[in-house]
Amino acid sequence: MKLWGGRFTKEENQLVHNFNESLSFDQKFYRQDIQGSMAHVKMLAAAGIISEDDRDTILSGLEGILSDIEEGRLEFSLEHEDIHSFVEANLIERVGDAGKKLHTGRSRNDQVALDMKLYTRDEIKETDSLVKELLTELHIIMKENTDTYMPGFTHLQKAQPVTLAHHVGAYFEMFKRDRGRLHDIYERMNYCPLGSGALAGTTYPLDREMTSELLGFYGPTLNSMDSVSDRDYLIELLSALSTIMMHLSRFCEEIIIWNTNEYRFVEIDDAYSTGSSIMPQKKNPDIAELVRGKSGRVYGALMSMLTTMKGLPLAYNKDMQEDKEFTFDAIDTVKGCLALFTGMVKTMSFRKDVMESSAKNGFTNATDAADYLVNKGVPFRDAHGIVGKLVLFCIDKNISLDEMTLEEYKAISPVFENDIYDAISLKTCVEKRTTIGAPGKAAMEKVIALNEEYLKKPAF
Give one DSSP letter per residue of 171-198, joined into a string: HHHHHHHHHHHHHHHHHHH-EE-TT-TT
Question: Of 38, 73, 22, nearest to 328 (Cα)?
Answer: 22
- Of 321, 400, 413, 428, the residue at the interface with ligand ARG (CB under 6 A) is 321
Binding window for ligand ARG (CB under 6 A); candidates: 49-57, 86-94, 157-165, 317-325: 317-325
320 versus 338: smaller Cβ distance to ligand ARG:
320
User: From the CB of 225, what's the least distance to ligand ARG, in Å?
Assistant: 14
276, 357, 358, 400: which one is catalytic? Answer: 276
Considering beta carbons, is residue 37 or 243 the nearer one to ligand ARG? Answer: 37
Query: What is the size of the binding site for ligand ARG (CB under 6 A)?
Result: 10
Q: Helix axis angle, 30-46 relative to 83-95, nearest 10°?
A: 60
Choice among 17, 155, 239, 242 that is catalytic: 155
CA 459/CA 183 separation, integer angstroms:
9
Question: Quick check: helix, strand or coil at residue 385?
Answer: helix
Burial class (CB in 10 A: 0-12, 13-18, 19+), 295: buried
- Assess 112 for contact with ligand ARG (CB under 6 A): yes
The verdict on 119 binding ligand ARG (CB under 6 A) reads no
As measured in angstroms, the least distance from the Cβ of 22 to ligand ARG is 4
304 classed as catalytic: no
Phi/psi region, residue 197 (left: phi>0; alpha: psi -120 to 50; beta: rest), is left
CA 178/CA 280 separation, integer angstroms = 40
Applying CB under 6 A, does 118 fall inside the site for ligand ARG? no
Q: Which of 82, 123, 178, 254 binds ligand ARG (CB under 6 A)?
A: 82
**Taking CB under 6 A as the rule, does residue 37 contact ligand ARG?**
no
What is residue 154's DSSP assignment?
E
Nearer to ligand ARG, 82 or 178 (CB): 82
Instruction: Report, in Å, the least distance between residue 112 CB and ligand ARG.
Output: 4
Q: Nearest distance from residue 108's CB to ligand ARG, in Å?
A: 4
**Of the candidate residues 58, 130, 288, 320, the single one contacting ligand ARG (CB under 6 A):** 320
Q: Between vectors from CA 175 to CA 169 and to CA 178, what angle results, nearest 5°?
A: 150
Burial 199-221 (b: 16+ CB within 10 A, else e): bebbebebbbebbbbbbebeebb
Is 103 a residue of the active site? Answer: no
- Residues listed for the chain: 460
> Shortest Cβ distance from residue 310 to ligand ARG (Å)?
17
Least distance CB 85 / ligand ARG (angstroms): 9
Residue 68 CB, shortest distance to ligand ARG, in Å, is 22
Buried b (16+ CB within 10 A) or exposed e, 55-87: bebbbebbebbbeebeeeebeeeeebbbbbbbb
CB 175 within 8 A of CB 241: no
Residues 90-109, interacting with ligand ARG (CB under 6 A):
108-109
The least CB distance from residue 123 to ligand ARG, in Å, is 17
Q: What are phi and psi of 220, to 5 degrees?
A: -75, 155
Strand intervals (E) in 8-144: none
Q: Which lies closer to ligand ARG via its Cβ, residue 314 or residue 406? A: 314
CA distance 45 to 39: 10
Q: Where are the alpha helices (DSSP H) in 190-285?
A: 208-214, 224-229, 232-258
**Which of 29, 217, 316, 409 contacts ligand ARG by CB under 6 A?**
316
Q: Are 127 and 241 in contact (CB under 8 A)?
A: yes
- Please choose, from the candidates 28, 5, 147, 13, the residue with its C-alpha nearest in 3D space to the C-alpha of residue 83: 28
Each residue 431-450 as x (binds ligand ARG by CB under 6 A) or -, in order, gives: --------------------
Give me the residues that bind ligand ARG (CB under 6 A), please: 22, 26, 82, 108-109, 112, 316, 318, 320-321
- Give the active site residues: 155, 276
